Amino acid sequence: MNGRRRHGVAVLLLHTFRTELRKAHGWMGLGLFALSSVYAAYRSVGPRAEAGTWNALVWLVLMFSAFNALARPLADDVREVRQYHMHLLRPQDWIVARTLYHGILLTALACCVWVAFAVFMGTTHFEGTRFFWMLLGMVVTAWSLAGAITLLSALAARAGAGFGLTAVLGIPLVVPILLLSARFGQAVISGLGAAEKWESLLFLGTFGGGAAAMGFVLFPYLWRE
């Protein structure tokens, strides 16, 4: 049973990647959105942003890019495909695979955003290990967002409403994540000890993990016809 379940998750995850990578306009659109957001931020505050501004902008851009990615319905969200999956898969497999997919997608997106920020706005505030701390924070934030929003985006997709509904349902959950991330960024900038940083990361992970666990429990109810 357990073996079959892992199998289901893996197959579904691979399938999602295959179908999504085939649609080049989808992921290229996400990347383009992220890059142009960074560029717009760069043009509006200039190359020598204050540390605080830098910190706020990087999380805001990550949040909007992530939202763009999470709210977009996938090829599998078509009603017919869903009904086909309903006969083959357990709903838990589906939500786990979707959360993993979102997590991986957002990690890639977070790395893109971070590199774009480093290129355009410079890394004067993030020399040495701070650079990697910040990258780690962005990756954890990406996973936390994926965990918290996947259920809601599945819910919105099920309701047949698109971006708008995911935004309305998801933004409130993003606020605490954004606050925690910004606190983490402040801790990195001001060079606080590792304990403070790990504490923020732990809170982020717990929040995302808790929301994902609720999604795991609740999703089978959304899945039924």
* Binding-site ranges for another protein (CB under 8 A): 151-152, 155, 158-159, 161, 165, 168-169, 171-173, 175-176, 179, 207, 210-211, 214, 218-219, 221-222, 224
- Report how far residue 111's alpha carbon sits from residue 97's, in angstroms, rounded to the nearest whole number: 21
Nearer Cβ to another protein (126/223) = 223
Indicate the burial class of 34 (C-beta count within 10 angstroms; 0-12, 13-18, 19 or more): buried
Beta carbon nearer to another protein, 45 or 165: 165
Q: How many Å apart are CA 13 and CA 92, to the nearest integer?
A: 13
- DSSP per-residue codes, 160-204: T--HHHHHHHHHHHHHHHHHHHHHHHHHHHTT--HHHHHHHHHHH
Closest CB to another protein among residues 117, 184 = 184
Among candidates 212, 66, 79, which has minimal Cα distance to 158?
A: 79
Minimum gap (Å) between residue 176 Cβ and another protein: 6
Q: What is the closest distance, in whole angstroms, from the C-beta atom of residue 218 to another protein in the complex?
A: 5
CB of 73 to another protein, least distance (A): 15
User: Residues near 190 by Cβ (< 8 Å), separated by ≥ 6?
Assistant: none
Closer to another protein by Cβ: residue 11 or 167? 167
**Least distance from another protein to the Cβ atom of residue 166, Å:** 10
Query: Residue 134: is it exposed, middle or buried by C-beta count within 10 angstroms (0-12/13-18/19+)?
Result: buried
Identify which of residues 88 and 175 has a Cβ nearer to another protein in the complex.
175
Smallest distance, Å, CB 99 to another protein?
15
Residue 116 or 173 having the CB closest to another protein: 173
Q: What angle do CA 58, 153, 28 make, to 5 degrees?
A: 55
Rg (CA), the chain: 18
Q: What is the smallest separation between the CB atom of 168 and another protein, expressed in angstroms?
A: 5
Sign of CA dihedral 78, 84, 86, 89: negative
Residue 122, H or E segment: none
